[in-house]
Amino acid sequence: MRTRSAFDWVSLAASHAVLLVCTAVFVLPIAFMVVASFKPDDLVLREAGSWRALFPTEMSFQNYFNVFDRVNFGRFFVNSVLITGSIVVGGLLVNSMAAYAFSRMRWRGRDFCFGLVLALLILPFEAIAVPLFYQMIEFGWRNSYRVQIVPFIANAFSIYLFYSFFLQIPKEMEEAAAMDGAGAWRTFFTLIIPLAKPAFATVAILTFLMHWGNYLWPLMVVDHETYRPLPVAIAEFQTLPPIQWGDIMAFGVMMILPVLAVFLIFQKGFVRGVASSGIKS
């Protein structure tokens, strides 16, 4: 076994130092937010520049109670869960079926249509936001749940991830299913979906992360509190007098908890999906 040289040890130490710095950049703001959410409001900014920012001397749950007293947080939370959950569930079904049609079926215009899907990957949402906004007004969908759900169910990136995964499934398995009398629908639901669980977990997490924090579109199409999701609600809450930074931090903590829960639930499938769907390449 080769003995590590001094250069190897220096390189290893430098790599770990860089990783620690990067970790601190991402973790410290979140840690500050969590700790500040338990502090009395007058201490949040006063202790921000000292070690007490992460090690407080006074802590309570009063800020969390204040959030529920000042705004209808439960309504906003349910709205976000309903909107994001509908997009995730609908997207998993629609995008996986589209990817299966592109990867396994033979039909006229398939390559052209798939090329259009790939072209959509480079199109930012901001480029179509205004035309889409006027289209939704023509449909009469403004201030509703469907205006925040339907336009985002089909997603080019999700289709591409499913497509990449489906190509790795041996065709012999589908041929065997066809010999047993299984049609395209039965093959997809009884064979392909169970084999593609890592891809479904990956798409579910990425879709959830993308839309849970979506701010621009709800801001454009919703001006009624009944349909307002959390990202727009917290932006309004930040300007709600009196401005209480402890309450704002508590609002933020409750907003990110579902993201953490979803990632922990689908973590193993996500890692397998990243390794097999071609993301890392």
18 contact partners, CB below 8 Å, separation of at least 6: none
Q: Is position 251 within any domain?
A: yes
- Report yes or no on 174 lying in a domain: yes
Q: Comparing 276 with 192, which gets the higher pLDDT?
A: 192
**Do 167 and 148 belong together in one domain?**
yes
Is 34's pLDDT higher than 50? yes
Reported confidence tier of residue 274, pLDDT bands at 50, 70, 90: low
Q: Which two three-digit tokens encode residue 153?
A: 């169910």
Residues 235, 122: one domain?
yes
Cα separation, 65 vs 60, whole angstroms? 10
What distance in Å separates the CA atoms of residue 135 and residue 220, rounded to the nearest whole number? 13
Both tokens of 15, joined, read 């790599």
CA distances to 80, 94, 102, 118, 119 from 112, in Å = 36, 19, 10, 10, 11
Q: Is the pLDDT of residue 280 over 70?
A: no
* C-alpha to C-alpha distance for 157 and 118, rounded to whole angstroms: 8
Which residues, 6 or more positions from 103, have their beta carbon under 8 angstroms from its beta carbon? 162, 163, 166, 167
Judge whether residue 135 has pLDDT over 50. yes
pLDDT of residue 4: 64
* Alpha carbon distance 93, 249 (integer Å): 36
- Same domain as 216, residue 94: yes
Same domain, 82 and 14: no
CA distances from 111 to 98, 102, 108, 227, 277 (A): 13, 8, 8, 39, 20
51 and 95 part of one domain: no
Residue 278 pLDDT > 80: no
Question: How many domains are there within the chain?
Answer: 2
Same domain? 24 vs 114:
no
The confidence score (pLDDT) of residue 271 equals: 65
Please indicate, yes or no, whether residues 240 and 117 belong to a single structural domain of this protein. Answer: yes
* Mean pLDDT, rounded, for 186-213: 88
Domain CATH number, residue 89: 1.10.3720.10
pTM for the structure as a whole:
0.84
229-270 pLDDT, tens digit each: 999 999 999 888 888 888 999 999 999 988 888 877 777 766
Residue 1 lies in a domain: no
Give the range of the structural domain holding residue 125, as residue numbers without chain letter.
71-276
Is 27's pLDDT higher than 70?
yes
Same domain, 243 and 259: yes
Claim to verify: residue 91 and residue 59 sit in the same structural domain? no
Q: 102-125 pLDDT, tens per residue?
A: 988 888 888 899 888 888 888 888
Among residues 43, 215, 53, which one has the least CA distance to residue 126? 215
